[in-house]
Chain A
Amino acid sequence: MEDKTALRARDFWTSLILIAVSAFFLWRTTDIPLFGTVTAGVSAAWYNSAALVPYGVFGMMLICSLGLLAISIKDGGAERALHGAGVGWERSEVIRMGCIAVILFFYIFALVPRVDFILASALLISTLIYGFHDGHTGRMKLAATVFAAAGLYALVMHFPSSEWAKPHDDDWVTLALWAGFTIFTLVRHSDEQAVRIAPVMAILVPLILVLAMAFGFRQNVPNRSGLIFKQIEYHYYVTLKPLWAK
């Protein structure tokens, strides 16, 4: 059973954040006209204003946040939060969450827009399986560092969206990191079944998914000009398709 006071200590901080957020959005709502506006040729009274419901929603959120603050203070959460006993998070859990957050952040914000989807996903699968399968914080940190290196390179070298579709040194960096990481894990932990499975899954899963989405479902896939997908697409249309088109 989780420590109730620790939960209330977290509630104390959350309620303060929620109060600040509610107040901020109530202030932002003042930008939306409430009385006697004319928008797109339509005149609106207060009861038809676009600000009416947001005032109600953020007003209610403010009241509920104050209620939560009162509950947390009454149950001893504020005392615990302010006297250094902390909010009850374990260090190992913070490291685990931090590493996952770093990997997901760089995957979505750095690699998926800029790097070939198959390569980015292969690195994601390999690092997540290796880093988190046995629960060692050292492995989590290594996995997050390798992934962050690939992400940082792509982010720093090709930040503007105009560079996302250009030929790619970041694809090669990701590929090299994935290959190096995979060889390292296989050499060091060849006795672990999960580590042996990871490279197979890392290649097959994104490859099958991308092929199914692009050529089966005829859907857009991320970064069509990526290192591997560009070759697949070229050979699909230039080498393979003419065979059955004839």
Chain B
Amino acid sequence: MEFFFTQISGFWGALVHLASDPVTYPYLIGSVFLGIVFGALPGLTATLAVTILTGFFGNKFPLEQSLIALIGAYVGAIYGGSYPSILLNIPGTAASAATAMDGHPLAKQGRGGEALGMTTTASFIGTLIGTMFLLVFVWLLLMISKNIASPEKALLALFGILLSGTLMSKDVVIKGWISGLIGLAMAMVGLDPILSETRYVFGWSYLMSGFQVVPVLMGAFAVPQIMDGMRAAGSIGQKVDVGKIVPRVATVMKRFPTIARSGVIGTGIGALPGVGEDVAGWVSYGVGKTVCKDGKDFGKGSINGLLSAEAANNAAIGGALIPLLVLGIPGSPPAAALLGALKINNVIPGPTIDPQLILHVVAILVMASCTMAIMGLLTARVFINVLRIPQTIFLPVVMVLTTIGSFSVGGGINDLYLMLGVGFVAYAMNAMHYPIAPLVIGVILGPLFDETFRRSLLISDGDLSTFWTRPGAAILLCLNVALILSQLPIFKRAFGRLTGRGS
């Protein structure tokens, strides 16, 4: 209990420091606003919002202000996706796809304002739940992570890539793994981290330092979005009227159990490496459908269905930051972009991370969620009007933003070549149903895997048993093996027969 109060006291200090600094507010209000606009515009995603801002804020501002801008945009964009989901039945982001299931039927019943108000409240409470878990669990995990050595790190990095590949695949799981392997292969380019041996540079000196994270992020997330989104958009949309938005306190209290349950589920799913807010939303929606009394009404305009999805996807933000800060393994694609920003600021997440930075992140999350709630409840009509802009108007602007952002990070014109090359490959992969998140996570975790895997063998004189004689490594190895085996048809059939569900 004393530990808990120490954390609360540290967090309170960081929050007061942040709240009393007037510089905080322009960054916070601007970034949350921009995030909500990005989320609200179908075709722009939370990952894209954080990625583009990484190009602008990554290494040009003090770290604290960069983090305010990036986390503010992250929180705003995950929430902003609910606007088109509810009003147009078009999920603004993948994270808000489950929101559309009940949000749009509610809007069609003339309850759009109520749906938006409840969504805003659920997102706010969900973010706070995720933040609370982040505050408590990050320290517990940090204590454990002090015992993590190279074998565990290597297996954890591999697990992150494999898990992301497995859970993000919309088609056969092998495509997710191939995507992760492509990312790992890209991370092999340049000087190797132990012996400085050159690998796959093909005489291009730019590649000696390997693939830079920001152009890869921009290429993987922005370029395919632009290429896919430039389709006939029709005329500029009509104005939408939704009525009263601010919900009644009694209604919120009545729905609090659903919001709390979804918040906890969202945090747990978000904490899984590489698994994003969209999975959190769907899992929570599925659980809600099973446990709620009105589960049979899910999909027909149920407020509980709406809250199950929306509280979870925002709570996943706090969850996604837990493995990011403790282990340097992003819990979601936007968190991968955040990791890119930390890296170009020379901040290495992991056991040696500055504890003050974690408290700052938590304080920023709380302030960002408050800003999001105030904006969502009081200025929702501004964001509703944003929905009228067709994507063929704003996507060309995004391309210009992406170009200048990627150029200014440091690598100049070569970064742009890399960005477009990765973008074309990512578009082709998208078209063939390969998930992109595992590729990016592979690029980010590849150097960590390469270095720690070889260092483990170096320390043990080439003895492979180092990966199963240490308890932590043995558990992680089992998880990796189990994850792979669970996806193989022969094991799936055997498991089905064992549980009596097989044919």
- Which residues of A does B touch, CB under 8 Å? 7, 10-11, 14, 18, 25, 28, 32-33, 37, 39-40, 42, 44-50, 52-54, 57-58, 60-61, 64-65, 67-68, 71, 96-97, 100-101, 104-105, 107-109, 112-113, 117, 121, 124-125, 128-129, 132-135, 193-194, 197, 201, 205-206, 209-210, 213, 217-222
A42 x B195 contact (CB < 8 A): yes
**B420 CB to nearest A CB, Å:** 4
Closest to B399 in A: A124
Distance in angstroms between the alpha carbons of A112 and B405 in the assembled complex: 13
Other 18 A-B pairs with CB < 8 A, given A25-B200, A105-B420, A217-B408: A11-B432, A37-B195, A45-B462, A48-B458, A57-B181, A57-B184, A104-B423, A108-B417, A108-B420, A124-B396, A125-B397, A129-B393, A133-B232, A193-B235, A194-B236, A194-B390, A213-B404, A217-B56
B417 x A121 contact (CB < 8 A): no
Within the complex, which residue of A18, A68, A105, A121 is in contact with B400, where a contact is CB–CB below 8 Å? A121
Chief secondary structure at chain A's binding surface: helix
Is B454 in contact with chain A by the CB < 8 A criterion? yes
Distance in angstroms between the alpha carbons of A68 and B431 in the assembled complex: 16
Distance in angstroms between the alpha carbons of A210 and B60 in the assembled complex: 15
Distance in angstroms between the alpha carbons of A48 and B161 in the assembled complex: 22
A residues less than 8 Å from B431 (CB atoms): 10
Distance in angstroms between the alpha carbons of A61 and B186 in the assembled complex: 12
B408 x A213 contact (CB < 8 A): yes
Distance in angstroms between the alpha carbons of A104 and B172 in the assembled complex: 31
**A209 CB to nearest B CB, Å:** 6
With known contacts A64-B178, A134-B232, A210-B404, A32–B199 Cβ distance under 8 A: yes
B residues less than 8 Å from A42 (CB atoms): 195
Distance in angstroms between the alpha carbons of A54 and B196 in the assembled complex: 14
A71 x B174 contact (CB < 8 A): yes
**A152 CB to nearest B CB, Å:** 17
**A178 CB to nearest B CB, Å:** 13
B393 x A201 contact (CB < 8 A): yes
- Among B153-200, those with CB < 8 Å from A are 171-172, 174-175, 177-178, 181-182, 184-185, 188, 192, 194-197, 199-200
Within the complex, which residue of B172, B230, B412, B450 is in contact with A132, where a contact is CB–CB below 8 Å? B230
Within the complex, which residue of B223, B393, B401, B413 is in contact with A133, where a contact is CB–CB below 8 Å? B393
B392 x A132 contact (CB < 8 A): yes
Distance in angstroms between the alpha carbons of A134 and B197 in the assembled complex: 52
